[in-house]
Amino acid sequence: MTQDNVDQEHTEEMRELQERLRALEEREARRKRSGVAGGALRGLGGLIPGLDTILEGLEESDAFQERLAAINKRVDTELREAPLKEVARDGEPGLQRRSSISARTLAPDRRSSSIPGGVRKGAERPQQKEPSADVFDEGDHLLIIAELPGVEEKDIEIKVRGDKLTLSAQAPGREYLKEVALPCPVEAAAQTSYRNGILQIELTKRER
């Protein structure tokens, strides 16, 4: 294969990569626009097998996004008006019970329990996922691009040992773990950037 062919293949790979990154950034932007309702649905998706995949498909629908926007607007309105309704009914501001969260069971003759944060004790952990990751040889360094939607940069942990890279991240409703085999040994220090669910890692090749 000639050098021109190699350069052409590399250019095509980078073009495909840029298109893929753009699509992922758009998808992550839609996730952020979905607000409280979308976050609640994604949390359920992490607990119920298969639901997360269905929700990802629905997020592509404009009608679904409009419905989420309407729900978010209604939630915001009710949160703003709820304290006013309490004062009008009880006749005194600052009632302590307004700040508590009560969870009731459907079964009769059972006492309700106050649950801080609305999280059930003993709730199952989200299903661990293996994110997709691509490795590109850039001459003196390797470029690794991984998809980690739904987490913050502070939630991501990177470990490098010889020719193996381990990625892990954990956030509410999300848990990722990925081991990436590298084509050559690299230095332990890494340069990273994270934006819209896309993690980019640059690793300098170790001199032999």
Q: In what order do the strands lie in the sheet with 156-161?
A: 156-161, 164-171, 174-181
Question: Is the pTM above the cut of 0.85?
Answer: no
- Tokens 């649950």 belong to 115
164: CB partners within 8 A, 6+ apart:
179, 180, 181, 182
- Per-residue pLDDT of the chain (208 residues), as tens digits, is 676 666 677 777 777 777 777 777 776 666 655 554 555 555 555 555 655 565 565 666 667 667 767 776 776 666 565 554 444 444 444 444 444 444 444 444 444 444 454 445 555 667 889 999 999 998 899 999 999 998 999 999 999 988 899 999 998 888 999 999 999 999 888 899 999 889 999 999 987 6
Walk me through the domains of the chain, giving residue ranges and CATH numbers: 34-118 (no CATH), 128-205 (2.60.40.790)
Residue 40 β-bridge partners: none
